[in-house]
Amino acid sequence: MRSAQRARHEANTLLELAHPNIVRCYGIAEKSCVLMEFLEAPTLRHFMADEADGRLKLSDALRTGIHLAAALDYIHARGFVHLDVKPRNIAIVHGRPVLFDFGIARSREDWHKPLLLGTDPYMAPEQCRRQPVSPATDVFALGVTLFEALTGEPPFPDGNKRREFPQLTVRPRRVREFRPAVPLALDDLIDRCLAFEAENRPSLVELIAGLHRHIRGGPPMWPPRFSPIEIASERDRNGSVKGAGKHNSKALPRQQPHSLRKPPNRQQIDLAR
């Protein structure tokens, strides 16, 4: 990486995490090299570009969103926020979404620091204003990613750090403007993810359950009689999920997006930045 400090930051963050939808880290070599698993797979951005109209099938978008929400919920439960969720930072490894690039992730003690970091069209209003961040900041970016996956277009395409961010003043576009077949309840859920005020965005558990309601075919995402709401309630009561720090199959979706299971192309994800 560009600096030893950035390498240590990313490695120290990733070494606290172990989840099937998060890239694995094995430590630091020399001063500025982070040892990570090799992902030979297209990013979600490239996968979408290969699809008709640059967007995913409804079921694939929903399942991808559920996996990413599960990964983010795990990250937040361990006191981190990612702050750069976007299609280019998600690899599709034989159908399994894997989140990488934790270069600007923050631990809980740094959530309040006034830093302008992120990728412009995916930044939540509080990021744009250099205000404290929270798990809701990642919900906003995931909402933007889901919007793109379903429509092929970003909801805020024109904002950047050199002029006013549109997400500060412009009402987000609706998914059904681009794809009328999307259920109204799903459109409303994604619109809530893009709410200006962080407290008006859904929790990740609510988002997982809401996305799951619209899956109409393919393999089940989790075992019979399982409820992500119940798992979240148990964690709230106990302070953590049983088995935290390990792969907890009871708390995770277990199926890949079905039609994303095609062989990866030869493009390789280079995680050394």
> Each residue of 99-136: pLDDT tens digit?
999 999 999 999 998 888 899 999 999 999 999 999 99
* pLDDT number for residue 246: 36
- 135 in helix, strand or coil? helix
The two structure tokens encoding residue 271: 């995680």
What whole-number distance in Å separates Cα of residue 45 and Cα of residue 62? 16
CATH of the domain at 207: 1.10.510.10
Question: Comparing 71-75, 126-130, 184-188, 242-246, which segment has the lowest mean pLDDT?
Answer: 242-246
SS3 31: coil
Residue 271 lies in a domain: no
pLDDT in the model for residue 248: 38
pLDDT beyond 70 at 252:
no
* pLDDT(243) > 90: no
Phi, psi (5° rounding) for residue 141?
A: -65, -40
The verdict on whether 84 is a catalytic residue reads yes
pLDDT at residue 13, as a whole number: 95
Residue 74 resides in a domain? yes
Percentage of residues in the chain having pLDDT higher than 90: 63
Note whether residue 93 is domain-resident.
yes
- Helices within the chain (DSSP H only): 4-14, 44-49, 58-77, 125-128, 135-151, 175-178, 184-193, 204-212, 228-238
pLDDT of residue 170: 86
Query: Would 198 be classed as within a structural domain?
Result: yes
Pairing mode of beta strands 25-29, 90-93: unpaired
In-domain check, residue 248: yes
In sequence order, the β-bridge partners of residue 106 are 81
Residue 167 gets which letter from DSSP? G
Q: Is residue 2 part of a domain?
A: no
Q: What are phi and psi of 30, to 5 degrees?
A: 55, -140
Kindly state the tokens that stand for 102: 């934790």
* Mean pLDDT confidence for 193-219: 93
Q: Report the chain's mean pLDDT, rounded to a whole number.
A: 85
Q: What domain count does the chain have?
A: 1
Name the catalytic one among 53, 60, 73, 84.
84
- Enumerate the β-bridge partners of residue 92: 97
Q: pLDDT exceeding 70 applies to what percent of the chain?
A: 81
Q: Find the domain containing 216 and state its range.
A: 44-260
Does residue 208 sit within a domain? yes
Task: Give me the residue label for tokens 């409303």.
Answer: 188
Q: Is 147 exposed, middle or buried (0-12, 13-18, 19+ CB in 10 A)?
A: buried
Residue 266 lies in a domain: no
Task: Tell me what pLDDT residue 242 has.
Answer: 38
**Contact at 8 Å (CB) between 105 and 81?**
yes
Predicted pLDDT of residue 241: 40
Span 24-37, pLDDT tens digits: 999 998 878 999 99
SS3 238: helix
Q: List strand residue ranges (DSSP E) for the chain, in order.
A: 25-29, 33-36, 80-81, 90-93, 96-99, 106-107
The reported pTM is 0.85
The reported pLDDT for the residue numbered 31 is: 78
